[in-house]
Structure 1
Amino acid sequence: MQSIYDRIESLIKMRGMTKKSFCEEVSISTGNLGDWKRGKSTPSTNKLVEIASFFDVSLDWLILGKEQQDIYLKENMESYSWDELRENVSLSEKEKEFIMEYINFTRYRRQQSCDK
C-alpha cells in the first residue's frame, strides 16, 4: 500500500522535478519532506490542499489513493462527463485560463467551508 509520501514522490517524478525544487515550490523544507518519508510526520491539511492543487490531483487520491471519479455537470437535466466536454468544446487560451481560475477559486471556497 502506498503512503501519502509515496504518492507525492511519484508526482514529483512524473513532473520531472527534483525534490528540492518541489520543496521550494510548496514552501517546505527538505527536512519536512524527509520526515514525511520516514513517517515521522505527515503534511498538514493546508499543505495537502496546496500539494493537491499544485499537481492537480484530488485530495481523495493524495490522502487515500482513491481513484478520481468522473465529474458530471448537469444542465437542463442532462449529464455530461468532464472528458466528453473537453473533447467536444473548443476554447481559447483566455477562456481556459478563466476556467482554471474559477476551478481554483472553487477549491479555495470549498476548503474555507470545510475549515469552519
Structure 2
Amino acid sequence: MQSIYERIEYLIKQKGITKKSFGEQLGISTGNMGDWKRGKSTPGTHKLIEIGAFFNVSLDWLILGKQPAEILREGSGDYFFEQIRQLDCHAEELLPKEQEFIKEYIEFTEYRKRKAEDKNS
C-alpha cells in the first residue's frame, strides 16, 4: 500500500463496510474519494484525524504506512523536522504532499497550544 488512499481502502475492506457507507459516516463525497484515488488530492488534516479515529489507527500509519516509533506529544518539540530540529525523521522518504501535510499539522497543533495558553491566561 503506497498511498493514503490505498490504506483507507484497505481499512474500509477490513471493517467490512462499503465506500459509500464510509463516505456517508464521515461526510466524504464520492468526488473527493475519486480525487484521492487518482492522486489528484489527499484528505485534509482534519479529515485524516477523523479517519484515523474512525478506524483506530495512527496518523503515522495512515499517512506514511509506518508504525510510530514512539508516541509523540503535542508541545514536546520532538516532532519537528527541517531547520528547527531533526530527530529520526526521514523527510526524504516523504512525498512533497506528505511533507506539506505534516507542516500543516504542526502549525495546527501550535495554534491549538496558543489557544489553550490564551484561555489559561
User: TM-score over 0.5 for the alignment?
Assistant: yes
Where do 1:22-37 residues align within 5 Å? 22-37=22-37
- Unmatched 5+ residue regions in structure 2? 72-105, 112-121
Aligned residues: 77
Q: When you count strand as a share of all residues, which structure comes out higher?
A: 1
Cross-structure match for 1:64: 64
Q: Which runs of 4+ in 1 moved over 6 A?
A: none
Q: Give the TM-score, by structure 1 length.
A: 0.60
Compute the displacement of 1:29 (Å): 0.4
Higher relative CO (Cα under 8 Å, sequence separation at least 6) belongs to: 2
- Unmatched 5+ residue regions in structure 1? 72-110
Secondary structure of residue in 2 paired with 1:23:
helix
Q: Identity across aligned pairs (percent)?
A: 67
For 2:33 and 2:61, locate their aligned partners in 1 and report how far apart those are by CA, in whole Å: 19
For 1:22 and 1:8, locate their aligned partners in 2 and report how far apart those are by CA, in whole Å: 10
Compute the displacement of 1:2 (Å): 1.3
Q: Give the TM-score, by structure 2 length.
A: 0.58
Taking a change above 3 Å as real, the CA distance of residues 44 and 25 of structure 1, as seen in their structure-2 partners, is same
CA RMSD of aligned residues (A): 2.1
CA radius of gyration, larger in:
1
